[in-house]
Chains A and B, each alone.
Chain A
Amino acid sequence: MSRAACPESSLLTARRGDMCYCPGCSHAAVLESLGAAMDRMGLRPEEVCIVSDIGCIGTADRYFSCHTFHGLHGRSITYAEGIKRARPGMSVIVLIGDGGCGIGTAHLVHAARRGIGIKILVCNNFNFGMTGGQHSPTTPPEARTATTPGGAVERPFDICQTVIANGAAHAGRFSALDADLSDKIEAALRSPGFALLDIWELCTAYFVPSNKFKPTSFLPLSETFGLPLGLLRDMPTEVASTHQPEPPLTSRPSASPPSIAALAWPGRREICIAGSAGQRIRSAAGVLGEIAVAGGLFAAQLDDFPITVRKGHSVSELIVSDRPIRYSGVDRPDLVLILSDDGARRLGELSSLPAGCRVIADAAVTLPVIKASLQFIDLASLEKSSGRASAALAALCLGVLVQGWLDGPTVESAVGALGGRYVEGNLAAVRAARGCFDETARTQPHAALFPEAAS
């Protein structure tokens, strides 16, 4: 196949002599072959986007009449993927050098793995041309470059095997001097999946003179370093196309808003629930916050937990108020629930809790002497009636009942009306709390409820 002579209708609009590349540079040959391939395929300019990376090949965008995108070094693959996702019908072709494949390796690997059908032409000339002939990830051992004056020592980066190992539908390694390069490119463009060609080139300004590199050097280079030339991967269309669609997205159902009878609440009340990961502390605070909001009140919930969510403390600060809440910090809690030693440790300075604050703690927790009114509960027995997953909510409901902020029937009907996936457990928690509490507890702590009451 002869190279295109750049007819008027071609997507390639520049002739070799008008391109900016050094005499003999292979970039021009690759662009001509790409132009010829696209023209033969009858691609229209509006359905193609050439995404050019950085380096000498990064200037190629201007030589095409289709959509073009010239971005940052190594990131061309990411723009191409964004374009292809938004416009799946387009041919999105990346022109990138060996340097770009180094700095953008992560994108190369993951684009291959995801199988979005972008096409990547690597113009691999074994060094950085534009910046002055430094070594690149594909520079072969012993090669002289500006940054390997004594000869390169690193193993060359096998771009093809990298993308093949990660699911590329089509991959091959060819020479820019191959007479049928445009056919190879056309085959890559026709693959419905991710396709990459590693096209070996001559950089006549640097790599060629520094290494007496010649067109005949490709074959020994290929053999010495186990980098076979030729088509290395070509998935059948039916297989390749299964590689390219968007990953299926699944929806999690979102609950419809609950309708709860208006709740009466005595002003701004700050609550702190301190326990351990796994006690469902945040969920407990969330249930009270949700019924408050659904009941026409205002709530704010701020959670504190270490970066590992299944271990260590879990502390939720919850404010419920009959007025809008602007500052959502809890500085002077009215009610503190301490449900584990982790929680107690995280709370730290309990001695600073104001005298008006009620602290309800699991009897098993070690606590310092505090000014606030302290009462103990037996969390284990509460767990027995509520279920372990709902014990924190049971303790919280108990606190709300003891404080007299809401009464038992109101809490229970609100939690029932709230519904949701955990409604049964939540109701069990309310019932456990109500079981532990009777109306007299408001003025006089129930003996069974607070077996070791500090008073």
Chain B
Amino acid sequence: MREFLTGNQTVVRGALRAGCDFFAGYPITPASSILSDFVDAFADGGGRAVQTEDEIAAIGQCIGAAMTGARALTATSGPGMSLYSENIGLAQMGEVPLVIVDCQRMGPATGGATATGEGDVLFARHITSGGYPLPVLAATNAATAYRLTHEAFNIAERLRTPVILLSSKDIALTRQTVDLDEIPLAEKRARTMHGSDGDFHPYRVAELDDVPAFAPIGGPARVRFTGSIHDEEGLLTIDRRKIDRKLRHLDAKIQGARTSLELFDADIDPDAEALVICYGATDGAARDAVDEARSMGRRVSRLTLYSLWPVPGDAVRRAVTSYVRHLIVPELNIGLYVEEIRRVVRHGKISSLTRFDGGLIAPRTILNAVMEGFCG
């Protein structure tokens, strides 16, 4: 059934489909309707929706609930992400499955509450101290917001990690035509649970890139959770070997899943001379521009990135087919992610197309950039 839904609404629907049963948030434009929709959704007692005193408490309550076994989600915008920062680090260190939706808006600071912007793409990756990786996904419209929210839960559960899903004002609040039943979803994943027998070691892994089995706070196996550097029992440690192992593990479990974390949509012409690489709200314009260029006889490919971190390097390299000599990277910021593309693709011309005045990049702008490449 086709519906007329905002990206915020599809985030909630995707989360419910993924079994989300705990939400805590603090009102902020353009994320607020996620909070009110969860209040409505959980009115049947199927979950808890909490409006907290601030964003710090919102993510804090989510982390507490997630460690009792809840599938938790919180949603905010850039200013709230700043307040989430420290707790995102806690969720990394404590290995908490948690989905964080950032409905980006124009920044910095208060910026433009009702103006779009996708300037959090590097911030999301580097949002907390220490430098350890966390998966970051980026929705492009209401339909992918649904699919990627569901996927974010799968990743969070499978890897016991916080996952950030980026949306933005023009995705969050734009009503679009979607048929959720038609959107293919991966099979729902749950965190690996500690079996009923045998001793429980809260952070024990056999291999560095394994994920420790989970036991809920409140269950029969005693859980020791900590944000301090710890051994496999969850006890503070100063043993360098144990420290090294724990921190390598935090890196390895994400890097080890790298391939499965590459989410993208590739529309590749093997004879393409130009390639548009996009993410977020510019995807629609990129699709229209590529179609238009093709109708004018140009050989063009498009790669839409649904995962931004880890950088889906293989997908990018594969999209740069033999004859591609011009890459166009449109972004609703000062040209942030293009630097990651430059790290992966070391030859050819890479054009950064930017807009950050609150408006969208139009198909014509991308088309012109594509055509320029053919002239020059």
Q: Footprint of B on A, CB under 8 Å?
A: 45-47, 49, 51, 59, 61-62, 65-72, 75, 77-87, 89-90, 106-107, 109-110, 246, 249-252, 254, 257, 286, 289-290, 292-294, 296-307, 324-329, 331
Contacts and interface: CB of A to CB of B under 8 A. Distances in A.
Contacts of A77: 57, 60
Contact of A78 (B56, B94, B220, B224): B56
A252 B43 CA distance: 9
Counting chain A CB atoms within 10 Å of each CB, which of B2, B113, B173, B285 scores highest? B2
Interface of B: 1-4, 22, 24, 29, 39-40, 42-44, 48-50, 52-54, 56-57, 60-70, 72, 86-87, 90, 94, 113-114, 141, 170, 173-177, 217-220, 222-228, 234-236, 283-285, 287-288, 359-360, 362-364
Contacts of A69: 64, 67, 217, 223, 225-226
A154 to B, nearest CB: 24
B288 A68 contact: no
Contacts of B39: 249
B40 to A, nearest CB: 5
A82 B61 contact: yes
A49 B218 contact: yes
B58 to A, nearest CB: 8
B291 to A, nearest CB: 9
B67 A293 contact: no
Interface of A is mostly: mixed
A305 B114 contact: yes
A289 B86 CA distance: 42
B177 A68 contact: no
Contacts of B24: 82
B65 A46 contact: no
Contact of A87 (B66, B217, B359): B217
Contact of B177 (A45, A82, A110, A299): A299
Contact of A325 (B49, B170, B176): B176
B146 to A, nearest CB: 15
Contacts of A62: 224, 235-236
Contact of A68 (B40, B42, B224, B285): B224
A45 B222 CA distance: 7
A120 B341 CA distance: 50
Contacts of A289: 4, 175
Nearest to A301: B175
A67 B222 contact: yes
A345 to B, nearest CB: 16
Contacts of A298: 177
Contact of A329 (B65, B141, B362): B362
Given A62-B236, A251-B43, 15 more contacts: A46-B220, A68-B223, A78-B64, A79-B64, A82-B61, A83-B67, A83-B217, A85-B48, A86-B48, A86-B68, A249-B42, A300-B175, A301-B175, A326-B141, A326-B284
14 contacts: A45-B222, A47-B218, A49-B217, A71-B227, A78-B60, A81-B57, A83-B218, A86-B69, A299-B176, A301-B175, A307-B29, A327-B288, A328-B360, A329-B360
Nearest to A90: B218
B288 A326 contact: yes
B114 A82 contact: no
B170 A85 contact: no
B28 to A, nearest CB: 11
Sorted nearest first, the 7 A-B pairs with minimum C-beta distance are A82-B64, A78-B60, A82-B61, A251-B43, A326-B284, A79-B64, A327-B284
Contacts of A249: 39, 42-43, 49
Contacts of A292: 4
Given A87-B68, A328-B284, A304 B114 contact: yes
Contacts of A294: 2
Most buried by B among A87, A292, A297, A301: A87
A331 B362 contact: yes
A28 to B, nearest CB: 17
Contacts of A307: 29, 113-114
A265 to B, nearest CB: 12
B26 to A, nearest CB: 11
A300 B227 contact: no
Contact of B173 (A90, A254, A303): A303
Contact of A72 (B68, B87, B217): B87
